Structure 1
Amino acid sequence: METLRKNFHTLGFKGAFSLGLIDHRHVLVHFDEEENYLRCWLKGVWSLQGFVVRIFKWTPSFSVDIELPLASIWVSLPQLPVHLFNKGPLFSIARLLGEPLKIDASTASLNRPSVARFCVEVNLQQELPDKVWIGNGASGFWQAVEYENLPGYCSACSKLGHLSTTCRSVAATGQKLDLPP
């Protein structure tokens, strides 16, 4: 644990944080500052001394055997009208997809007005729309939604990173999947 603490300090988090051992594969990290939590969660995967460390969000239903289908992903809204680039309207749109986390710097500064980007926490077991309705009174428009690096979630083994159709656990046990037609 002491080696892990030292390595975590080298990642440059500001403020205090604590590490607690859950089991041989899971460590609970608690940050005092939300900025550090967001930086850690948004990155998703860290490398410490050559080991890949994947970040999962803790919830009251956490189990060491089951990875929750939650992921932080970047979303792009191409050709979104510029007057909607503020945090309020963007987070309202993001709430249609999941829990809004952050707006990227180019969107916030209007350096790239051709596309708005934000990060949102989504449940990968729910269908994510490829467009959303943005209404203003009696009028509105359909806005295209593009997801960046959307990870798979396997409902057969409850792991992130692949789908049930390519699950090695299912293949090894000979289970048959009931997939929708």
Structure 2
Amino acid sequence: MLKMLGRCKYTLVGKFINAMPKMEVIRRSFIAQTQLIGGVKIFHFNSRHIYIDLDNEADHISVWTKQRMFIAGHLMKLQVCTPTFKPSKETPIVPIWITLPELPWHCYYIDILTPLLSPIGKALYLDYATMQKTRGGVAKVRVQIDITKERPQHVWLGFSEKDPSLGKWQIIEFEDFPSYCLYCKHQGHVSGECPVKERDEEIKQRRELEANKKGYEKQPN
């Protein structure tokens, strides 16, 4: 499984919400909509899913952070591929924007922010204003996170290697944080609003009522 994890690190899963177009249409439209610097292989998985195997990390990040594409008018959601991928579930690993208000000016670099944000997730890239340092009040970073895990509201920004106590708590603000259902393992809602959970509970209650009814009918008069 560890070897498999390394081999699929640049692989994405495309999930069609409704009907899926023909593979030649998908391949042609995908290439037309992306500006890849490397190659790509697209394979059929089932009637709703495809594998998108990219050559390099830059293309992987560029395509994945789109989160969705339209292929011949059909919506396709994009998600990372993991060794435990199951078509009936959606991954909780997503790219989101976070902002860092009043971040020190000399920290507006990806090589500094990557270790700083490691308790939250993997830093992918900076937005254009942060990268060009044209906005001093706040830095903005695209980060890969697991939305089922706790979200730290701040991280420690140390000012001295010799004295770890010198520094400040850097505030973290999350933008457009998606919801995730731990019951049906799909994005877009929480378990309290899950239609699958509601359906299963109704079925369970109906079966319990039927079982109680049968038990009552079997009792001697």
Question: Considering the TM-score relative to the shorter chain, is it more than 0.5?
Answer: yes
Question: Which stretch of the first structure deviates more once superposed, 12-21 or 66-75?
Answer: 12-21
For 2:47, the aligned partner's letter is H
Pairing partner for 2:168 from 135, 138, 141 = 141
Shift in Å at residue 138 of structure 1? 2.2
Pairing partner for 2:132 from 88, 94, 109 = 109
Q: Which structure: greater helix fraction?
A: 2
Alignment partners' CA distance in 2, 1:94 and 1:2: 40
Structure 2 unaligned spans of 5+: 1-22, 205-221
Alignment partners' CA distance in 1, 2:134 and 2:119: 25
Does residue 1:54 correspond to 2:77, yes or no?
yes
Shift in Å at residue 145 of structure 1? 0.8
Deviations 1:113-134 (A, max 9, x none): 1111111111111011122221
What corresponds to 1:179 in structure 2?
A: none
Aligned residues: 176
Does residue 1:42 correspond to 2:69, yes or no?
no
Runs ≥4 in structure 1, deviation > 3 angstroms? none
- TM score, norm. by length of structure 2: 0.75
Deviations 1:4-23 (A, max 9, x none): 11111210332321101111
| RMSD, aligned CA | 1.5
What corresponds to 1:166 in structure 2?
A: 193
* 1:15-94 matched pairs, under 5 angstroms: 15-94=38-117
Q: Which structure: greater strand fraction?
A: 1
Larger radius of gyration: 2
Shift in Å at residue 105 of structure 1? 1.7
For 2:173, the aligned partner's letter is E
What corresponds to 1:156 in structure 2?
A: 183
Q: Percent identity?
A: 30
Asked if the contact 2:96/2:177 (under 8 Å) is kept, the reply is: yes
Alignment partners' CA distance in 1, 2:178 and 2:77: 13
Deviations 1:89-142 (A, max 9, x none): 111122120112111121111011111111111111101112222123321111
Alignment partners' CA distance in 2, 1:47 and 1:93: 35
Alignment partners' CA distance in 1, 2:109 and 2:87: 39
Pairing partner for 1:6 from 11, 28, 48 = 28
Question: Which stretch of the first structure deviates more once superposed, 45-54 or 152-161?
Answer: 45-54
What corresponds to 2:19 in structure 1?
A: none
Could you say what secondary structure the match of 2:76 adopts? strand
Asked if the contact 2:98/2:174 (under 8 Å) is kept, the reply is: yes
Could you say what secondary structure the match of 1:10 adopts? helix
- TM score, norm. by length of structure 1: 0.91
Alignment partners' CA distance in 2, 1:34 and 1:92: 18
For 1:140, the aligned partner's letter is G
Shift in Å at residue 69 of structure 1? 1.1
